[in-house]
Homo-oligomer: A and B are copies of this chain.
Amino acid sequence: MNIPKDHPRYRSLTVREHLAEMVEKGLVTPTGMISHGRGEAFDYLMGEKSTIPALEAERAAAAFLLRAANPVICVNGNAAALDPDNLALLAREIPAKIEVNIFHRSEERMEKLIAHMEEHGAEGVLGRRPDSRIPGLESDRALCTKEGIYGSDVILVPIEDGDRAEALADMDKIVISIDLNPLSRTSRAASVSVSDEMTRALENIIRFARELKHDGNEIDRVINGFSNDSNRKSTVEAICGSLMSEFRDVG
């Protein structure tokens, strides 16, 4: 399909078409498309830009990742399809490990996703040979590696489902979520809830990581000064402000 470049929602429609292709290729599941749509709605409510609270959470995310002993970036089908380049770039910048971990697991789909990440510059991607389980999750969804997700102290979960985010938080990990819905179970479970579109979030975290990486004192200040509850509250206030703005003159 050709989307006219002057369409008011050009970028969003282009991403949709890209994801639809990724469904054909077996990287994204049809229900993954619904998750994307849910995110789109919140992005729309935030004016499709990084809000001030999102930038604060992204700076905190960079600080926690830099301070970690074993930081891991957890990649699922939607994340890999949406922006493999920036996921790989962030992993190099911190440095952090990447582990592919999916809800609808099959060996074929795992292999496709890992190969896709490697084609986009990711190195040493984990997930092929799981040797541990995330406690509290059923069946294949629990599978992970000791070296990666299981042994991580700080874990970045872009576009994660609520069950897994909660299970990871229950393991006393510092969970950093990227989830456009500030009220989702994932955002509620996380220690740092980044409510921003994934590409914007990754680019901002990479930028903040470059800025902070040689300044240990500033990393401490950012970590100590961050409150996730008040950050989520500010995000919701920003959404409501934008929602109500067009009705100022309606009685």
Contact = CB atoms under 8 A, between A and B. Distances in A.
Contacts of A246: 183
Interface in A187-246: 229-230, 232-233, 236-237, 239-240, 243-244, 246
A74 interface: no
Contact of A233 (B19, B35, B247): B247
A244 B240 contact: yes
Contact of A31 (B16, B41, B232, B247): B16
Q: How many copies does the complex hold?
A: 2
For the side of the interface on A, what is the size category?
35 or more
A185 B44 CA distance: 12
Contacts of A34: 16, 19, 33-34, 36-37, 40
Given A35-B37, A38-B38, 13 more contacts: A20-B30, A20-B31, A30-B33, A36-B37, A37-B39, A37-B40, A38-B44, A39-B41, A40-B41, A229-B247, A236-B243, A240-B243, A240-B244
